[in-house]
Amino acid sequence: MKNFFKMSALTLTVFLAVTSCSSDSDIQNDANMNGAAPKAKIQNGEAKVGMSNLIQGFYSPSKMIHYYSVVDHPAPPSYFKERVLGAVGPEVTSNPYITIWYNTQTEDSYISAIPGEIENKNGWTKIKMLGASVNMNGTNVPVYEYYNTKKGSHFYTTSFNELGYGNDTWKYHGPRFYVNIGGF
């Protein structure tokens, strides 16, 4: 019985280490995600999330801020694609849903899982209403939100280990919603 618990703890440790490490093969850094948006797939009578709901993260070295968008809404010219967070959806037109916002005054990009959270607030424009946050299961992971207190901008990652509980610059806001990292 003692060996069973040791083996279970070791297995869990290895699983967490493998799933939390960022690498070139990680979904956040997958260079192969630049393709055209495929049509929705139906499996077992259930719609699979498509590329049009795939949240991409961009970064501008000159501005030192991040920008978030989807395949059919490209980033501004000074940004390069840094990561793919995952997909939400399928697209919905009723609450709750994930919305990507952009502030024209501060150039901050914000992803909200709370409908109308920043609508009609100074400088914020809606980039796109995406879809529902996916439920937690084997291919869905949380998206963690951080706020840069020096730049006044948001950052999102699926790897908690990237910034942990934050630091002097990045304030940790916690997990905000779930994305699908497989099946598209």
The mean predicted confidence, pLDDT, of the chain is 73
User: Does residue 22 or residue 77 have the better pLDDT?
Assistant: 77
How far CA 90 is from CA of 53, 97, 121, 142, in Å, comes to 7, 10, 27, 17
pLDDT tens-place string over residues 109-156: 999 888 778 877 888 988 888 777 777 666 789 999 999 999 999 999
Q: Quick one: what percent of the chain has pLDDT higher than 70?
A: 65
Is residue 4 classed as helix, strand or coil in its secondary structure?
A: helix
Cα dihedral across residues 131, 136, 139, 143: positive or negative: positive
pLDDT at 92: 57
pLDDT at 97: 79
pLDDT tens-place string over residues 34-77: 332 333 343 433 344 455 678 899 999 999 999 998 877 888 88
pTM higher than the cut 0.85: no
